[in-house]
Structure 1
Amino acid sequence: MSEEPSADSEVDASVDPWNGDARLPAYFGDAWPAIERFHAFLVDQGELRGLLGPRELPRLWERHLLNSAAVVPFIPDEGVVVDVGSGAGLPGVVIAAMRPRAQVILVEPMERRVAWLLDVIERTELANVEVRRARAQELDGALEADVVTARAVASLDKLFRWCAPLVREGGALLAMKGARAADELAAAGKVMRSVGLSDGRVHEATTIAGTEPTRVVSAVRGRGTRVR
C-alpha cells in the first residue's frame, strides 16, 4: 500500500487553478469523495510511478479528471463497462465513481499499472470495480460489455478491431479523441463496418463551463440504440 499524500505533494499541486473550485464537488455530486481521493493519490504518486509527466500535475482536473467525466453521460446507470488500456484509471475510475450501479472492469496489460489500479481501488473504496491484466484482443469470448471505453489508447481502426468483440449486441464503443476525431472516424469507417459496428458519430461533450469540450467517438454493435 502506498503512503498517504504528503504535504509537499499538496504544495506542488497548488498551481492547478481548479484546486478548491466549489464547482468541482457540485459537479461530481455523490462521486466527489472518491474523485477527491483519486486526485490526491494521482498528485502524490502519479509522477513517481510513471503514470503522469510533471507537466500534467497542474492540469489534472481539467485535462484528465473532468475530461474523463465528459464520457459519463453516454454511459447507462447500470450494466457492464469495460475500460480498455485503463492505465492510470482514466476514464475507468472516474466512470466507476460516477456510475456506482455499473460494474466497471479496468483492462490493463502492464503489471505496474495493474498494481497502481488495485491501489486506487483500495484508496477510493470503490466497490464496483475490478481489474483484468490483459490486452483487449486477448479477452474475445471472455468479456461482454454494454459499453467499452478507451482514452488515448490507439487509433480508431485498431480500437475497432480490438474492442468490437467485447461489445454485446446493441452495446456501444466510446473512444475519447482529439481535435481530428472526425477525420479519424472517416478514415476508419470501413474497418468499423467490417467488425460489426455502425452509426459512428463524434460528440462534443462538456462538463463545467469554461473547460475545453471532449470529443467522444461512439459506435454501436449491430442494430443497437443510438448513443445519445
Structure 2
Amino acid sequence: MPKHRLAFSKADTAKYISHLDLMRTFQRAFLRAGLPIKHTEGFNPHAFVSIPLPLSVGYSSACEVLECELLGEVDRDTVPARMTAALPAGITVHRCYEAARPVKELCWVNYIVTLEYEAGAPFGAERAIQELLARASLVVAKRSKKAKSGQTEVDLIPLIARSTVEERRDTIGLDLVIRAQNPGLNPELVVSAIRSECPDMAPDFVSFHRRAVLDGDFQPWE
C-alpha cells in the first residue's frame, strides 16, 4: 500500500497542543472519521502516523504534514473534510495525497517571526537586526544533551538561507528561511541572539508562524 500524507494547518488555540497530544488527536480523528489506517502489530497496536517536522508548542503553521497509510478503497478527495470535522478547532486538513518525495529532501523552512514591543519598535531596531543577521558569523549557545556542560555553541549564519527584516508601528517582522534538519535551526535561537547582541531591541513578546517547508531548491516540499 502507498504511504499517504495529509497537509494541514494549525492555528488559534490549537497551536498550544503539544506534539504527542497532536499525534493522539489525529489517531482518534481517524477513528471518528471512519477512515481505516495501518496500525502496528503486537499486543498493543497503535495507529501508524508520523509528522516529519514536529512543531514547537505555541507555533502556528500553514504547512504541516502528517504521514499515514490509508487502507481499503478511500476517496482521497473526501478525506480533508472528514478529518477536519473530527479534529479540534484550529486544525484544518487541506489535502490528502500519495507521498512521493522522501523526507530527507525537506531542507528548509520559512518562518515568520513577529517581535512585539509594548512601547513601539525601538528607534533603529530594523537596521540593527539587519546588520546582526548580515554578519559573517553569529555564534550562540544552545542546550545539548550530548555536551557534558549541557550546552554547545552553534553558528546561526550558515543555517540561515534568507532573512528579511521589516519594521511596523509596534512590531518587527522577520521573514526567515532556515535549515530544517541535519542540522535544523530553531528560530528561537535567532530571537535569543537579538536579545543577547542587541539588548535594546529585545522584544516584549514573540510569535512564530511556519509558512512553508521547502526542498533544496527552495521549492515547496510535499
- Tell me the TM-score normalised to structure 1 length: 0.31
More strand per residue: 1 or 2?
2
Higher helix residue share: 1
Instruction: Find the structure with the greater CA-based Rg.
Output: 2
**TM-score, normalised by the number of residues in structure 2:** 0.31
Higher relative contact order (CA 8 A, sep 6+): 2
